[in-house]
Structure 1
């Protein structure tokens, strides 16, 4: 028996297996990076959307998808553990396609937001795809596939601005919305045809509906209050009521998780110090970096209007050209981190990445008025961003078992989403303190952009300060993978 297990497969079988693995990696890479690509396209298109619909609530164009994605994420990852990861991937992708279609044909801003909200369910595909990677690949493919999937964010960062620039300049924001719908449809086809079902499941059980509603409702109330706080007043009874209600819902959620038989996020997993410290540090650092696009894209794409707007007024194509060196550094940081993760303590890589991002954006707080200054800021911050986004999912593999992988990835994505939503909302609030409304559209002055960047710098720095809390984890090469169970 041992000889049968260790014998080398025939060359033809090995070649077929390699080709099949490559197809699966491509399908999962498309699925994961489409989440990042849609976020990038949304950020670049938001200025045109705000001007077209004459809205001061453009923050919700990007935040609506984050909010609904965060709300449905716990249900999706739990369903993946109970019913099969591929099945849930297909359901989430199908709903995402429906939402993209609604947004693409919307004739008013409210309908557009409804479509974006439905499309946000697609965000649940990323943690499930990472979990499938660990489940279905042999050991020698797990690190490579995870590194490629994480490093793909650099390709998105490099190609996304050029794609968005072409779509915006030639077809307007409608072209961006239709591209999202077509890409989601392609994702559905790739998963259906190329990705096998995971052999690792939760072994039965049931959905914790009460826990999910408490968690989603608490987070939704918190985010909505932060977004509307400047209009309501930070000391108003309405704002305080939402904050207190959110806190009560989240506390009750924690109590429920201790008592239900099938919790969304098992306390036995989340109470372990390696797990909760990794979740906390990566969520704050990576989530804050995901929010920086809110500031930078508005800075470079909003028009320059004396006393009203200090945007640089670049076209989509010009933005793509200027940001290409930055995107290249994200690729270098992400791919290099994926390679180093098998050799270097992940905590060191996370700390260095966060520090580089802090230095880069700190420089940009005052030097962001020319293409050269944007590139200087981005080269340093881009390297750090690539390192942080690549090491975050790898650190989860190092601290949980294959059976816990989907839930842990879900918890990390949830944390990233919450951090990104809160920092993004705060960035809009901070920038609006130094801005003006013209013809129903919110514009921002230079001090607003400066303060928005300082907000991101402070949040990423806080994430870096959390890294020493993490105990020494296993190296990626030592982690247990699904097919080894």
Structure 2
């Protein structure tokens, strides 16, 4: 029995008349898309070390300045859904140019911001440029052959984790030496180069993939739902999950999602049709992404970080050493593992490799939960998660978001799946934060086992993913 491979209809489906790119043109396209997504990613990773400098320069407290990150990611969730779907109507190249122009405008506002309000407006525009990732995934699916699609998608996915931690360090160095505005100068220059390359290299869409008009009503209602769920998670982790304000945002989320369902049923060209939302090609992918990020991301980026710096029951490391041992390794491993994972998924099957990655993630999390006091074991398992989570799982979930998206709306599922990444990451931290923050072995243990349970649910959700009739992935 032969191994399942990516069938030729899974890529270039939207443009059957456009032959896949090869040779120098393919390399130039991938390099251009890397520059495009890097322009966004630098905004996510380089700014965090500069938050204290921003607070001093704008005469604000650090708590208020933290909005530059939260608003950035919220705008990213909305922009990823709306702008990627809009590209089905106006073309990928046109949409990517708009995204990079928004990034440039936002970066200029941040560069010369006289106060926090202007800075936040700039950060919102920058955040919306997260659609560069979803657009890149779809462009690769339409312009690359099945043979290289997985590998190139893995390369773009690797950038989503930053540049192996070096970008964060470089951001801190710039802020300390020249001030936080110098970071935006660098980002602006990278964005300009990316924009020029997009104009020169990315093929222009011959005709729209979707006919009709963009569903702006559906986009507006879904955006409200994303805003409500974001504040529900943030308020739940701070004010408590049963606090009135938290329950109010939960109600807003539910009402908005119900409204979205009815709006989509009435639209001629919906953001994503209801029959697709309830299919095994869409909801299990979104559920798997949310639950995986909730489970694994919280362990790597929150629980283990707190444990490693705890001087009483943890490893007693300083912040720099903690980042060097427990944040940098999985990021660096993911840079190399993601392209390999994409290649492997194209050979062995995307759904199969997702489930293999999920099982390995669960195994690593169980070992950490059993031996949280053993620094060497925790280090080894976090490094393993760089391969299984940053490599296999993130690459295959991104790939499936493209391959299983409805043929009449190829950018719809990648956009929704992109929003699911942010929701899952914040939700997982919000759930385990009260336990990890106790600063006890029991508290860390509870947080870790909760993450194990959530990741098991993610694996269960992945078992419901199924290809479309006649599709082999």
CA distance in 2, matches of 1:185, 1:191: 10
CA 1:61 to 1:364, structure 2 compared with 1: closer, same or farther past 3 Å? farther
1:335: which partner in 2? 339
Describe the superposition over 1:358-384 as per-residue Cα deviations: whole angstroms up to 9, x where unpaired: 444555569789985663242111111
Work out whether residues 323 and 375 of structure 1, in 8 Å CA contact, stay in contact via their aligned partners in 2. no
| 1:387 aligned partner | 392
Query: Would you say 1:189 and 2:189 are equivalent positions?
Result: no
1:14-53 to structure 2, matched below 5 A, reads: 18-43=23-48, 45=50, 53=60
Name 2:91's counterpart in structure 1: 84
Contact 2:108/2:122 (CA < 8 Å) preserved in 1? yes
Q: 1:244 aligns with which of 251, 257, 264?
A: 251
Selected match of 1:70 from 58, 77, 94: 77
> Could you tell me how far apart the structure 2 residues matched to 1:474 and 1:51 are?
58
Alpha-carbon deviation of 1:261?
0.9
Partner of 1:423: 428
Cα drift, residue 25 of structure 1: 0.9
What's the counterpart of residue 216 of structure 1? 223
What's the secondary structure of 1:343's corresponding residue?
helix
Comparing 188-197 with 111-120, greater Cα deviation is found at 111-120
1:277 corresponds to: 284
Give the match for residue 313 of structure 1: 318
TM-score by length of 1: 0.77
Q: Does the alignment pair 1:344 with 2:348?
A: yes
Tell which deviates more after alignment, 291-300 or 321-330. Answer: 291-300
Residues 369 and 60 of structure 1, relative CA distance in 2, 3 Å threshold: farther
Asked if residue 125 in structure 1 is aligned to residue 132 in structure 2, the reply is: yes
Query: Is the aligned partner of 1:146 residue 2:147?
Result: no
Q: Does the CA contact (< 8 Å) of 1:226 and 1:425 recur in 2?
A: yes
Q: Please report the RMSD computed on the Cα atoms of aligned residues, expressed in angstroms.
A: 4.0
CA deviation vs aligned residue, 1:445-466 (integer Å, no higher than 9, x gap): 9988777666554433331232
* 1:472, distance to aligned residue in structure 2 (A): 5.8
Cα 1:231–1:32 change in 2 (3 A) is closer
- SS of 2:212's equivalent in the other structure is coil
Report the secondary structure of 1:56's partner residue. helix
Q: Which runs of 5 or more residues in structure 2 are unaligned?
A: 1-18
Q: TM-score, normalised by structure 2?
A: 0.79
Deviations 1:56-79 (A, max 9, x none): 366644321121122233321232
Partner residue of 2:456 out of 461, 477, 480: 461
Q: Larger % of helix: which?
A: 1
- 1:371, 1:186 → 2: CA distance? 43
Structure 1 residues 43-62: Cα deviation after superposition (integer angstroms, max 9, x where no partner): 55557767985433666443
242-251 or 200-209: which moved more?
A: 200-209
